[in-house]
Amino acid sequence: MITPFENVVPMGLDGRGIVILGAGGGGIGTATARTLAAAGAKLLCVDIDEQQAQAVAKEVGGHAFQADITDRKQMEDLFANAGRLFGDSLHGIADIVGWAPGGPLDGADDQAIARAFDLNLRHALLTVQIAAPMLARGGGGSMVFVSSLSGSKATPGQGLYSMFKGGLEQLIRQAAFEYGPGGVRVNGVAPGLTVTPGVEMAMTSEFTRRVEATIPMRKLATPQDQANSIFFLLSDLASHVSGSIIHVDGGQMTGANLPQLGDD
């Protein structure tokens, strides 16, 4: 007979090593670092801005690493460092990196196309190629990528972003399929409009009102909302979840339309 709580999954990440890509800046990456640290994880906080990486690492008691995540050699160095720090306790990757250029598809020049590709999709492929085999060799683990509602539907003024986030979501499914036999789970979080420092600076009260009217829960997401779902997917609470995209959007994917930022 099973006694009460006998098979309850542990709620924390005690002693598990996790790499956070895009940890600085005070947005979703920083909220994720704080949440995972509170759950007992050992963190490697990565950002292209060295000062921001150091600041969040100091706050959460983790390690800092500066890297351009679009450069294969720097990514190899990054995960070699993670291997030295965590050894077999390396458990997970949280990839928060992305870039949302404005404008329709026909307005995108080659430079914007290359940058959007690198920051939204190509770097995620590098992460899978380099980190997933490491996790498999250590007995398995979890990878979580931050996508967007724009990865599942067309969005006004977000042509490149929508296209490459859609590619990211297919990468998540493909990686889950290929690395699942090695015990590696791969999932995504797709935020609705989230009040990060950068977004908050661009919003007006009228724009906020209009967006909230399209959300069934009638409120915008916070970085903590996204961090909570990232924690879930990294933890054993999601032990049989792989290849999934969780929409953290207050129900917006039920069919509401998002007005374009700046179109007040």
The sign of the CA dihedral 12, 195, 241, 43 is negative
**Which 3 state secondary structure label does DSSP give 132?**
helix
Strand order in the sheet with 184-191: 63-66, 42-47, 17-21, 90-95, 141-146, 184-191, 245-248
Instruction: Find the helix or strand (DSSP H, E) in which 148 lies.
Output: none
C-alpha distance from residue 135 to each of 18, 80, 105, 175, 216 (Å)? 11, 12, 37, 13, 38
Q: Where are the alpha helices (DSSP H) in the chain?
A: 28-38, 50-60, 72-86, 110-117, 123-137, 159-179, 197-202, 205-213, 223-234
The DSSP symbol for 249 reads S
Positions marked catalytic: 161
